[in-house]
Structure 1
Amino acid sequence: MNVIDLQSVRDAREQAAFEAYVSAKAVADETLRILDMAAAVKAWNAFVELTCPTAREQEGLLG
């Protein structure tokens, strides 16, 4: 029987989402194009939704 460490799975997803944000942000900083900036915002939102699943937690992160 295989045992899956759910925390490790969550951590890996969060790390991948953060790396996607960092990459998108670097592109946006380089090009200064609005579409690249929007992609970075979308990647940031995906990261925040994974790490802070409730609206209250998300507000706390941003405020």
Structure 2
Amino acid sequence: MDHEDARWFKSSYSGGSGTECVEVADLESAVGVRDSKRLGGTHIAVRPAAWAQFVASLRRA
């Protein structure tokens, strides 16, 4: 799936102003991560297992 066609989500922990947010999307074989201020711009793609480990580490912190 192309990142432009993906459905991007912001965390519910993001501030109400909508600035300085990270968005993520399921890109089928990867998880896309981008800055919400750069819509349609650069993103990174990480393996789903790596993303799951990252999120799990945040929950333990």
Fold in common (TM above 0.5): no
Q: Which has the higher contact order (CA 8 A, sep 6+)?
A: 1
| Structure in which a larger fraction of residues adopt strand | 2
Q: Under a length normalisation based on structure 2, what TM-score does the superposition of the two structures give?
A: 0.26
